[in-house]
Structure 1
């Protein structure tokens, strides 16, 4: 493999991000402002959070198409709890705490359900997670009768709209998720087991790696992170719409993972790469919109980035 191809694979996404920043500093008005930085970071937070879970899943050689539907389920369930439509709760802080914790746990349980289908019945991940991709959205819609849930609950909305040291709270959540996941993947036995399963599942099993347990872990975490992302979305919008929350998120998350350099075949993964990949995709979209290019063009460019990333992976495997 030519040295320049190796360099492009290793540093291409970082170079693309730097070039996009330079381009916008020169061409795009008001790019170098805190408001622009805040807008771009808040736009990318949920993609990075879900993409982190997706990275762990793909590292094992799997895929999770249900993340958007799990976001919708969490987003539909949460207002029903903190607005006391399920059961009366007099203390608003307790209601909000339960409205955050219960939906995230439920989303995690659905993630474990995906793993159960995959490990118990040897169903391919794309097929197993397709079940909740379809049924999960229906569960969210049925639970709310398809109605928009509008709310004004500052204690809950702080999840997305609150700020710490001037930085949106959801950005801190995103950074915490990335740091913890990167540490687990790179510095722990569990991280090595995740990559071993993706690299060669049969060999990993023969060497004593608890393959089923690893898969339960990654799909469960992916579900939990999807639940967190769903709560951030409804907190930002001050409303929960089961028809729209998380729509298309599975594609955005996979795009960030692939552009970031994680192998779709498993065995190699980078959480930081997923973060950079999501930032590149977001900045491409922002750059086009800020300079008068229709949003549809961003979809074409995103597709081109995915094709380039997959081509580079094929070059490495050749």
Structure 2
């Protein structure tokens, strides 16, 4: 009779289960702990003003990070999103301020200010996708092109000038309310919900994950890999353009030097903390939303308790490293 020693087996199972639980629910737990800490230590944390500030600050990040989640799910990355926000934010005011072409109808001008900038950033997203697919350039290098050149394009469009404006019709996207909810927060939720539905219930969503999981197998299975990759970069460009409109509408000004600055890092951090694999094959849209909230609350918590803002950058980096570590260990299990 062979006697099997199982004394070390149980701890191993428990360890693997803990890693898997941390990978799946760690972001939610971190968000809960941050909320509990602030309830105990931060005055007026539950005031409407505090909630409103945190939600409006995170709205643009979530919109951009949603597009970033789709790109990363295919095994890519998009470093150009911050610069595309700057381009979108530069083009929009020039339309309703009659800087480009005089438009007599103010309603039409505002409508075009929403549509044309997003079409422009979608075109740049297509450019990124073509570099990645047709010319087989690594995504980090391909999108680095517009990361560098895109902000220069925005500066050329505006001649480096600050565009200050006041247009209630255009600024509703950031300053208005829908059923008592800030319009930009409602927009954030709509974008996240739409992306969640697409990834969960559509063929496109399954194809995105298949491409990121095993591109060669996806191609052999008849999935149009090139088209899928181009589409996710186009979507990322569109959402970056939308976020750019939100930011300039909120600030009542467009500054090509500052709009979207560092947004690509915030978006990647939200995706990583939210549980999506940076190597592709997984897209956790809800996790990305929660990850962005965690990052925002970390920054708010530090500032509210007298810690310099620079410390938030260090904590953000630590969160990314921890998230990636947990993902890798959970996947190996």
Q: Same fold judged by TM-score > 0.5?
A: yes
Structure 2 residue 143 is matched with structure 1 residue 129: yes
Give 1:316 shift.
Answer: 2.2
Structure 2 residue 281 is matched with structure 1 residue 267: yes
Please give the per-residue CA displacement for 1:84-105, whole angstroms capped at 9, x wherever unaligned.
Answer: 1111111111100001100011
Map of 1:315 onto structure 2: 329
Return the alpha-carbon distance in structure 1 between the equivalents of residues 315 and 132 of structure 2: 33
Map of 2:243 onto structure 1: 229
Map of 1:76 onto structure 2: 90
**Maintained 8 Å contact 2:275/2:323:** yes
Return the alpha-carbon distance in structure 2 between the equivalents of residues 83 and 159 of structure 1: 17
Map of 1:57 onto structure 2: 71
Map of 2:228 onto structure 1: 214
Please give the per-residue CA displacement for 1:45-95, whole angstroms capped at 9, x wherever unaligned.
Answer: 000000000000000000000000000000000011011111111111110
Structure 2 residue 243 is matched with structure 1 residue 240: no
Structure 2 residue 81 is matched with structure 1 residue 67: yes
Structure 2 residue 163 is matched with structure 1 residue 146: no
Structure 2 residue 65 is matched with structure 1 residue 38: no
Secondary structure at the aligned position of 2:296 is classed as helix
Structure 2 residue 213 is matched with structure 1 residue 199: yes
Structure 2 residue 100 is matched with structure 1 residue 86: yes
TM-score, scaled to structure 1: 0.99
Secondary structure at the aligned position of 2:134 is classed as helix
Return the alpha-carbon distance in structure 2 between the equivalents of residues 276 and 317 of structure 1: 21
Give 1:317 shift.
Answer: 3.1
Ranges in structure 2 where 5+ consecutive residues have no aligned partner: 1-14
Structure 2 residue 316 is matched with structure 1 residue 297: no
**Maintained 8 Å contact 2:16/2:330:** no
Query: How many pairs are equivalent?
Result: 318
Map of 1:276 onto structure 2: 290
Secondary structure at the aligned position of 1:2 is classed as helix
Map of 1:180 onto structure 2: 194
Structure 2 residue 25 is matched with structure 1 residue 11: yes
Q: Kindly report the root-mean-square deviation, in angstroms, between the aligned alpha carbons of the 2 structures.
A: 0.7
Give 1:35 shift.
Answer: 1.1
1:253 to 267, 271, 283: 267
Larger Cα Rg: Structure 1 or Structure 2?
2
Return the alpha-carbon distance in structure 2 between the equivalents of residues 23 and 316 of structure 1: 27
Return the alpha-carbon distance in structure 2 between the equivalents of residues 247 and 122 of structure 1: 27
Ranges in structure 1 where 5+ consecutive residues have no aligned partner: none
TM-score, scaled to structure 2: 0.94
Return the alpha-carbon distance in structure 2 between the equivalents of residues 214 and 139 of structure 1: 27
Return the alpha-carbon distance in structure 2 between the equivalents of residues 47 and 290 of structure 1: 21
